[in-house]
């Protein structure tokens, strides 16, 4: 597995935004400092699809969970589709921070056995300590963490340091807008389910995720900027090409985090067509681009998702 797969993760499971939490015996990770450049507004027109029958309309919008402030995407066709919808559907509805931390904490740490540093191959320990130091995190902060949790944090904290922020991400913006307009908000999955996808991965898969994260940290800015650029110009083919490399090297991770979920969500859309109304579905763009995407799964169900021109 390599950083190419993590590109897809940033636009896939919302659980990657779970707040860092620690077991009582582990020091809390220090948040990476956020870049403080002046904010300028840049227009973005991300891809939007629609599925319809005679009395139901379902919009499908691909998100990137963390964005820099100043990217203007919630306007034009996206805003029109959202405003016309009765409900917002997300990958999951984010609970309050205390609840989320308790859910994460129940799966993220082990108080017995070798430390994470000891579990890492000796060749990777230097990169691990270097990464922790560069982010201002105490070396022992993740000693009791499971590899998946350390990997997701070490992947996301550099993005926050570069100025990417979940508060600027579409899920936060859409949730706040839906609450203001008193739209129904529901999740395709629960927080417990999303945590379980990562926590349930075999040890060797989790360690491969962590090792590749350490190896590719220097590419973080280039990787993320390229993906956001493709998303902003509404180019799902470029986004898919950007993210699909490496999937064949990580079949178990791809099946668990992407393909199986895409198939379930396509079935949800099929069932939702039996209920009248208009729904705005926002999921990671990685689920709507490339092979075995939700769009592809809908085709196998004889359901056409049409790209919305705006």
Q: pLDDT digits over 30-41, tens only?
A: 344 444 444 568
How does the average pLDDT of the chain come out, rounded?
85
pLDDT at 257: 84
| 283, burial (CB in 10 Å: exposed 0-12, middle 13-18, buried 19+) | buried
Lowest mean pLDDT segment, chosen from 2-16, 31-45, 58-72: 2-16
Distance, in Å, from the CA atom of 289 to the CA atom of 59, rounded to the nearest integer, reads 15
| 156, burial (CB in 10 Å: exposed 0-12, middle 13-18, buried 19+) | buried
Q: Average of pLDDT values for 15-31? A: 40
pLDDT at 252: 83
Can you give the residue range of the structural domain that contains 289? 3-307
* Structural tokens at position 24: 């009582």
pLDDT at 17: 43
* Structural tokens at position 25: 């015996």
Q: Average of pLDDT values for 99-108? A: 88
Lowest mean pLDDT segment, chosen from 15-29, 54-68, 111-125, 287-301: 15-29
How far, in whole angstroms, is CA 68 from its chain's centroid? 15
Distance, in Å, from the CA atom of 301 to the CA atom of 265, rounded to the nearest integer, reads 12
Main-chain phi, psi angles of 249, to 5 degrees:
-85, -10
How far, in whole angstroms, is CA 35 from its chain's centroid? 21
Domain count, the chain: 1
Distance, in Å, from the CA atom of 78 to the CA atom of 62, rounded to the nearest integer, reads 11
Q: Which band of pLDDT confidence, cut at 50, 70 and 90, is reported for residue 8?
A: very low
């Amino acid at each position: 597995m390599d950083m190419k797969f993590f590109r897809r993760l940033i636009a896939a499971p919302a659980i990657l935004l779970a707040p860092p939490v620690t077991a009582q015996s582990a020091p809390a990770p220090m948040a990476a400092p956020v870049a403080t450049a002046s904010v300028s507004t840049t227009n973005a027109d991300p891809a939007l699809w629609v599925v319809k029958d005679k009395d139901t309309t379902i919009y499908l919008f691909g998100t990137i969970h963390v964005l820099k402030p100043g990217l203007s995407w919630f306007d034009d066709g996206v805003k029109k589709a959202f405003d016309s919808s009765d409900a917002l559907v997300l990958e999951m509805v984010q609970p309050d921070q205390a609840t989320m931390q308790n859910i994460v904490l129940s799966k993220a740490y082990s108080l017995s056995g070798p430390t994470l540093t000891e579990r890492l191959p000796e060749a990777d320990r230097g990169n691990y300590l270097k990464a922790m130091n560069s982010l201002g995190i105490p070396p022992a902060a993740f000693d009791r963490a499971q590899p998946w949790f350390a990997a997701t944090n070490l992947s996301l904290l550099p993005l926050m340091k570069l100025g990417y922020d979940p508060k600027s991400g579409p899920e936060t913006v859409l949730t706040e807008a839906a609450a203001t307009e008193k739209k129904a908000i529901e999740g395709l999955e629960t927080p417990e389910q999303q945590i379980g996808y990562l926590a349930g991965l075999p040890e060797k898969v989790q360690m491969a995720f962590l090792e590749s994260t350490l190896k590719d940290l220097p590419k973080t800015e280039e990787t993320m900027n390229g993906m956001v650029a493709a998303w902003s110009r509404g180019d799902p083919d470029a986004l898919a090409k950007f993210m699909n490399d490496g999937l064949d090297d990580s079949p178990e991770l791809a099946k668990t985090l992407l393909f199986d979920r895409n198939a379930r969500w396509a079935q949800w859309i099929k069932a939702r067509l039996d209920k009248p109304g208009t729904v705005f579905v926002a999921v990671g763009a990685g689920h709507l681009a490339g092979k075995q995407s939700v769009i592809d799964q809908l085709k196998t169900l004889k359901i056409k998702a049409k790209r919305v021109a705006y």
